[in-house]
Amino acid sequence: MTTDDPDDPIGYFLEDLTYHGKTERTRTSYERVLRRFEAYIGDTTPAEATHRDCMSFVHSLRGELADSTIATYAAYLHRFYAYMTQVGVFEGNPMTLVMEEMDETVDKDPTRRDISIPEMRTFVDGVQHPLHRALICTLLKTGVRVGELCNLDLQDLSIEDAELCEVYDLGTRPALANRPNSLYVTPDASVGAVLNGEERTASNKRKRETVIPIDDELAHELKAWLAIRPDTTSPAEPLFLRTAEGWGERLDPEAVRHIVTQYAQEAGWYRSGGSASENVTPHYFRHFFTTHLRDRTGDRGVVKYLRGDVADDIIDTYTHNWGDQVREIYEANIYRLK
């Protein structure tokens, strides 16, 4: 096997997933989907498959699997081809066109609880702890994944506040230069990777860096948290730290889920054993952000950029026009939580 032409490209990809710190569960999921695709295309190799082969495979899943599962299968296949193209093993990604068409026809999220903005305001009003308010408001107003939230460091947050800047080294990322009141989400954080001097226990799923605007409401909540943020022993200076057990340590996704679950249960929005269609979790906040901001802006590209799940050509467009377009659209349309 050679890097340029591996005998088993799927095995090559799965091996690289291991090097990138992906869990065994994730690798198993990828292998199941990719081997099914390989069996479906028969004598055609993955390197030779066309967009019609990929489209036919996705179509074959309909009627057997839920739309959200089909979307997951398609995403796995798309990421496989995108990576193999990036490292020079394949010449192109036949899934690009398929994904663009699916964007218009497949709902990637299962049917979920329908919560209005006024109802969410009432929910947030019941959260009084500064850390909990900052966590929940950040999830609701940026659409970041829970792992991405936990991986944020002080250098990833830019806030215009002279007093805070005297206490903390905020927003020192080069990508935040001349971009005040913003969050930087790195694509480099993965389980086991050492980033800013600290080994990470959660992964960011973004393929490209994203700079997300912060409005005055979220800035207020983050300032309230930073005013009481304890010291930490981590050289990475995490943004969000534990204030109970493990005082001063970086919050992990399990802790954030526990916090959100407590408030969701009190609101009647969470039941043990409940499905994704019923329970409000940190991932639900990402769904809420996507749904309401997309409805308000009518601009799918900006929402995809903010979510961090767009193709290179789209993300390059919005990265280039960040100051003129992304912040302007975001600030004009982001909902208020109080």
57-93 pLDDT per residue, tens: 999 998 888 877 888 899 899 999 999 998 889 988 9
Query: Could you tell me where the DSSP H helices lie in the chain?
Result: 9-19, 24-41, 51-61, 67-86, 95-105, 117-125, 130-142, 146-150, 162-167, 216-226, 253-266, 282-297, 300-307, 312-320, 327-333
pLDDT at 318 over 70: no
Report how many domains make up the chain.
2
Task: Give the residue numbers spanning the domain of 258.
Answer: 117-333
Q: Which of 85-99, 138-152, 197-211, 274-288 has the highest mean pLDDT?
A: 138-152
Give the up-direction half-sphere exposure of residue 253: CA atoms within 13 A in the CB hemisphere.
15
pTM of the model: 0.68
Q: Decide if 112 is inside a domain.
A: no
In single-letter form, the type of residue at position 1 comes to: M
Same domain, 229 and 270: yes
171 band by pLDDT with thresholds 50, 70 and 90 = very high
Same domain, 169 and 248: yes
Same domain, 275 and 316: yes
As given in the structure block, the two tokens for residue 215 are 């409005």
CATH of the domain at 224: 1.10.443.10
Listed residues 60, 77, 105: the one ending a domain: 105
Answer for the pair 210, 314: CB distance below 8 angstroms, yes or no: no
Same domain, 122 and 160: yes
Summarised one tens digit per residue, pLDDT across range 2-57 is: 345 688 999 999 999 988 888 888 899 999 999 999 999 999 999 999 989 999 99
DSSP state letter for 241: B
Same domain, 153 and 256: yes
